[in-house]
A and B are shown apart, each in its own frame.
Chain A
Amino acid sequence: GAGVSQSPSNKVTEKGKDVELRCDPISGHTALYWYRQSLGQGLEFLIYFQGNSAPDKSGLPSDRFSAERTGGSVSTLTIQRTQQEDSAVYLCASSLGQARAEAFFGQGTRLTVV
C-alpha cells in the first residue's frame, strides 16, 4: 500500500476481553514502532522492531501487552484482559530502519474499554 495501514480504526471492547491490533507497514520498511497516545498526551513508546526481532520492548506497560512481527512485515499488538486504563489511540509507525530515516505513521486504532 501507499502508507502505513492500521486495523481496526476503532475498537470497543469489554473489560477483561483480549484485543488484537494490526499494523501493515510500508513495503520494505524494516523498522516498526508501536506507540500509545492518550487524549492530549504525548507518544508513549511501547515497542520497536527491526525486522522480526524486538531490540527494545522496554515500553510495554505490563505482561498483558505483547507484540509480534512476522515476515518482517505485518505486526500485531495484543492486549490481554483489557482494563479501562488501556483506552487510548494506538499508533504504529514504520521506517526504512536505516540511520536518518523518516518514520511514517498509521492513522491509529482508537481502543475503548468499557
Chain B
Amino acid sequence: GENVEQHPSTLSVQEGDSAVIKCTYSDSASNYFPWYKQELGKRPQLIIDIRSNVGEKKDQRIAVTLNKTAKHFSLHITETQPEDSAVYFCAASNYQLIWGAGTKLIIKP
C-alpha cells in the first residue's frame, strides 16, 4: 500500500525567510497531492493541492512542486509571517488519502 514520509518534523525559520517541507510517496498510482494546515486547536484545512498532470502550482506566497519520477513533492512558503506558524500535513491519494506525519512550522519574530 501507499506510504508517505514527511520531513522535517519541526522547522524553525526567521520571519520573512522561506520554508520548504518535503514529502515522498511510494505508490506510483497516486495522482493527487494536497497540503493541509492545522492551527492550534483547529481542524486541518486544505491550503493547496496539485494533481499529477502538472509539475508546479502557486497561490500567492505558497507553492507546491511535484516530481513524479522521483515520487516526491514539496511545499514552499515564501516571505513567512507569524500566522504561518502551524502544523502542515501532506497527503497522497489514488482514491484513499494517505497522510504524512506532519511538520511543525515555527516562525521566529
A-contacting residues of B (Cβ < 8 Å)?
31-32, 34, 43-46, 49, 51, 87, 89, 91, 93-102, 104
Q: Contacts A100-B93, A102-B49, A105-B43 hold; do A43 and B102 have CB atoms under 8 A apart?
A: yes
Q: Contacts A42-B101, A43-B89, A43-B102 hold; do A99 and B43 have CB atoms under 8 A apart?
A: no
Q: Is A20 an interface residue (CB 8 A)?
A: no
What would be 10 A-B contacts, judged by CB atoms less than 8 Å apart? A43-B44, A43-B89, A43-B99, A43-B102, A48-B96, A91-B43, A99-B32, A99-B93, A100-B31, A103-B46
Number of A-B contacts (CB under 8 A): 52
Interface residues of A, CB < 8 Å — how many?
25
How would you classify the secondary structure of chain A's contact residues: helix, strand, loop or mixed? Answer: loop
Tell me the complex Cα distance, A50–B87, Å.
28
